[in-house]
Amino acid sequence: MNFKLKKIISLSAVLFFICLTVFFPLARVDALEGTKVTGSFSNPLTSTSFEALIEDIIDWVANIGIIIAVGMIIYSGLLFMIAGGRDEKITEARKALTWSLVGLAVLLIGKNWVTLVRSILGG
C-alpha cells in the first residue's frame, strides 16, 4: 500500500468517527423533540469557582507527573543495574536519574508555586 492511500484511508476513518460522534447525538436530540424533559443537571465537579477548577486541574496533573517521575527514577535504577560497568550505559543512567529528579523537583515546586503567588498577591 502506498503512503497516499494509507493517508486517505486513515483520514476517512477519522472523519467517519467524528461524524458518528456529532450526528448520532443530534439524531437522538431530534427524536426527543416535543417531549418534556424533567429533572435537573447536577454539577459533577467539586469545584465551585474557576480558580478552584484550575487548582484541581493543576493538582491532578502534578499527581500524575509525580507518579511518572517516580517511575522514571525506578527506570533509571534499572538502567544502573543493567549497565554492567560500561561507562556509556552508566552515563545514560545518570542522565536519566538526574532529569527524573529535576522533573520531580519542578513538579513539587510548581505545585506549591500557585499558593506562593496567591499569598504574595494577597489572594
Whether this model's pTM surpasses 0.85: no
Q: Between residues 53 and 2, which one has the greater pLDDT?
A: 53
Each residue of 19-49: pLDDT tens digit? 667 666 665 655 555 666 566 777 777 888 8
Collapsing DSSP states into helix, strand and coil, what is residue 84? coil
pLDDT at residue 75 is higher than 90? yes
Retrieve residue 88's grid coordinates.
Answer: 556509556
The closest of 118, 98, 114, 116 to 62, measured between CA atoms, is 114
DSSP-assigned letter for residue 40: -
pLDDT at residue 62 is higher than 60? yes
Each residue of 83-118: pLDDT tens digit? 988 999 999 999 999 999 999 999 888 878 777 887
How far apart (Å, rounded) are the C-alpha atoms in residues 121 and 107?
Answer: 22
Residue 69 in contact with residue 104, Cβ under 8 Å? yes
The dihedral region occupied by 87, where left means phi > 0, alpha psi between -120 and 50, and beta the remainder, is alpha
How far apart (Å, rounded) are the C-alpha atoms in residues 63 and 12?
Answer: 37
pLDDT of residue 117: 80
